[in-house]
Amino acid sequence: MSDSRVCRLIQDDPHGESWGPDEHAHLAVCPGCAAHVEVVAALGARIAALPRFAGGMPGALRGRLLELVAACPDAPTVPDNVVVMPGTARGRRPDWTRRIAMPVAMAAVLVCGIFLGRDLAGPGVDPADPRRTIGNYISDVTHDHYLLEELGRPLEIASTDREQLSGWLSRSLSFGVDLPPADGTFALEGGRVWHTVGRLSAMASYVTPDGSRAILFAVPATDLDLAGAPSSMIHGVRVFRGTGWDHEARAWIDGDLAMALVAPTGHLPESWPEVFLH
């Protein structure tokens, strides 16, 4: 590198951020560059020592600013009895996820479209979704007990008001949810949006005075195949029963919804479904 180019580089970067061996060697033999570097360093030191900069922020101003932090009102927090799962946290997503979210979603829709289209067009394929059966519904809800046992009580919203929680679930989902009255036996404690047998579903958590807990699921009953699970009539309603993952469950149709009841402890007393069927 020519001397003039090295001189220019040093004088453009007198703090040596981008210097290599050439620049260091040049500095030792070029009085002009050495003086330039020394002047910049001296200038910085003189400015730093000026009375109006020395000592940093005065204590009074610092104290005033810190008081402002302390005076900020607390933001609304999640109620104590609500555990928000990491996947549902309302935090700000990183930029890169926002940038790729749309292309990924479009690609996923395209791939799903290709596969579904191929299946529908193929010969001998039952157009009914084989996963949406009452048996699989019971299997899903019994499996989901892990939410309560492994993760605490992952409710998105704490509410003891049936209408309020029904409204919140309905607004959060693409279908209306009218939680049945629990006849005073169970106290509603909250709920969340969940995913069951291929559809978004509502989940509500109830607790008895002795601390036992029951979870009620609701999912659109459209296209749900009711064959394949034993059933009995309770208060004129056909109630399906099943066991999965060492847990018992009951399911029934209520208007447009398929309801399912499961107990995190596994055992579901016979009287519990009746509470919701009055």
Partner 1 sequence: MLPHLSPAEKHRFEAEIVPHLDVLYRMARSVCSDGDLSDDVAQEAFLKALAGFEGFRPGSNGRSWLARIVHNTCRDHWRARHRRGEQGWDDEIEAEVEAQGAEPGWEPGIIRDAFDDDVDRALKALPPRWRAAVLLVDVDGWSYDEAADGLGIAPGSLRSALHRARRVMVRTLNETAARRGRSTGEAAT
Grouping H, G, I as helix, E, B as strand and the rest as coil, residue 214 is strand
Shortest reach from residue 272's CB to partner 1, in Å: 38
With vertex at residue 184, the alpha carbon angle to CA 240 and CA 276, rounded to the nearest 5 degrees, is 15
How far the first Cα of the chain sits from its last, in Å, is: 91
Beta carbon nearer to partner 1, 92 or 171: 92
Shortest reach from residue 17's CB to partner 1, in Å: 6
Q: What are residue 53's phi and psi, to 5 degrees?
A: -110, -30
Radius of gyration of the chain, Cα coordinates, nearest whole angstrom:
33
Shortest reach from residue 51's CB to partner 1, in Å: 7
Report d(CA 134, CA 140) in Å as an integer. Answer: 10
Beta-carbon neighbour count of residue 199 at 10 Å? Answer: 21
56 binds partner 1 (CB under 8 A): yes
Which residue stretch of 9-17, 225-233, 244-252, 261-269 sits at the interface with partner 1 (rule: CB under 8 A)? 9-17
Residues 92-131 touching partner 1, rule: CB under 8 A, are 92, 94-95
Binding mask 75-94 toward partner 1 (x if CB under 8 A, else -) reads xxx--------------x-x
Binding mask 200-239 toward partner 1 (x if CB under 8 A, else -) reads ----------------------------------------
Residue 248, both tokens: 């018992």
Shortest reach from residue 38's CB to partner 1, in Å: 4
Beta carbon nearer to partner 1, 10 or 258: 10
Q: Are strands 157-158 and 257-262 parallel, antiparallel or unpaired?
A: unpaired
Q: For the purposes of burial, counting CB atoms within 10 Å of the CB of 204, is it exposed (0-12), middle (13-18) or buried (19 or more)?
A: buried
Q: Which amino acid is at 114?
A: I
Binding-site member from 1, 66, 110, 112 for partner 1 (CB under 8 A): 66
59 binds partner 1 (CB under 8 A): no
Report d(CA 39, CA 33) in Å as an integer. Answer: 10
Q: What are residue 171's phi and psi, to 5 degrees?
A: -70, -30
Tokens 């459209």 correspond to 222
Binding-site member from 43, 100, 106, 128 for partner 1 (CB under 8 A): 43
49 binds partner 1 (CB under 8 A): yes
Shortest reach from residue 155's CB to partner 1, in Å: 19
Report d(CA 93, CA 212) in Å as an integer. Answer: 37
Binding-site member from 42, 89, 101, 128 for partner 1 (CB under 8 A): 42
Q: Could you tell me which residues are beta bridge partners of residue 196?
A: 199
Instruction: Count residues binding partner 1 (CB under 8 A).
Output: 47
Which residue stretch of 7-15, 105-113, 187-195, 243-251 sits at the interface with partner 1 (rule: CB under 8 A)? 7-15
- Residues at the interface with partner 1 (CB under 8 A): 7, 11-15, 17, 31-33, 35-36, 38-40, 42-44, 46-53, 56-58, 61-62, 64-66, 68-77, 92, 94-95
